Amino acid sequence: MNTSCWIHQYKEYFEVGSYIFTILGFIAIISSIIALFISRNQMRFTVIARCVDIFRDHYADISPESNQEKCLKYMDFINEELFYFQHRYIPKSVALEWIDGMLNHFPVYHNGVIVNSNYCLPQFLTLKHNYPRVKESFEIEGSYNFKLIFSEDSLKSVHYNKERRRLAQEILKNSKSVKY
């Protein structure tokens, strides 16, 4: 048997083997990326479901008559949701919807002055200062038509939705830039 033929034959096996391992490595990388995306989506779903359950079970009925303790726990819950927004555990579309709901309860500040005092729950006027993430998120720079944002006039609904969405987007942007 010729030695060069034998070496040539092993070289071909080695090349085929390296191609197979390259393909297997590529498949492993693709599988890992897919698993990462699936895991991330499952985590997002779990966080969303948990937050929705907590809100429905404890805070759906929050009102001006709610006691201070309940409001304090709700503020803590909102602080947690803002953390999830900041770290993108909640998709942007869901975060904007939730912030839109928060606008019915929380004071919004512009240069340290409450600009929606007629529309927020009075219990939150003093609680905000104990939560830096909430304070920084709800401190806005833009100017908004708060009469429109809190209007119940159905004829203004298109403008109402645009203005609320614009305010919610600034609050979301603020929540993502909080330095804690």
Out of 60, 79, 104, pick the residue that ends a domain. Answer: 60
Do 50 and 81 lie in one domain? The reply is no
Check if the beta carbon of residue 138 is closer than 8 Å to that of residue 120: no
* Virtual torsion, Cα 91, 93, 94, 96, nearest 10 deg: 120
User: In whole angstroms, how far apart are CA 106 and each of 7, 51, 81?
Assistant: 78, 18, 14
Do 77 and 137 lie in one domain? The reply is yes
> What was the pLDDT predicted at 6?
61
Q: To 5 degrees, how large is the angle CA 36–CA 43–CA 78?
A: 140
Total domains in the fold of the chain: 2
- 35: alpha, beta or left, given left = phi > 0 and alpha = psi -120 to 50? alpha
pLDDT (mean) for 25-48: 91
- Using the predicted structure, report yes or no on whether residue 18 has a pLDDT greater than 70: yes
Do 114 and 150 lie in one domain? The reply is yes
> What was the pLDDT predicted at 119?
80
> What was the pLDDT predicted at 15?
82
Do 67 and 56 lie in one domain? The reply is no
Do 33 and 76 lie in one domain? The reply is no
Query: Is the pLDDT higher at 70 or at 153?
Result: 70
> What was the pLDDT predicted at 4?
61
What average pLDDT does the chain have? 86
Give the whole-angstrom CA distance, residue 64 versus residue 145. Answer: 23
Do 15 and 37 lie in one domain? The reply is yes
Q: How confident is the model at residue 173 (pLDDT cuts 50, 70, 90)?
A: very high
Place of tokens 């909080």: 178
> What was the pLDDT predicted at 167?
94
Do 167 and 83 lie in one domain? The reply is yes
Give the whole-angstrom CA distance, residue 9 versus residue 162. Answer: 71
| Residue range(s) defining the domain that contains residue 42 | 1-60
Check if the beta carbon of residue 77 is closer than 8 Å to that of residue 55: yes
Q: How confident is the model at residue 1 (pLDDT cuts 50, 70, 90)?
A: low
Do 104 and 151 lie in one domain? The reply is yes
Out of 11, 27, 60, pick the residue that ends a domain. Answer: 60
- Using the predicted structure, report yes or no on whether residue 53 has a pLDDT greater than 90: yes
> What was the pLDDT predicted at 77?
94
Do 77 and 164 lie in one domain? The reply is yes
Q: In what order do the strands lie in the sheet with 139-140?
A: 113-114, 109-110, 139-140
Do 129 and 78 lie in one domain? The reply is yes
Do 26 and 67 lie in one domain? The reply is no
Out of 60, 87, 105, pick the residue that ends a domain. Answer: 60
Do 41 and 119 lie in one domain? The reply is no
pLDDT (mean) for 66-90: 91
Query: Is the pLDDT higher at 111 or at 171?
Result: 171
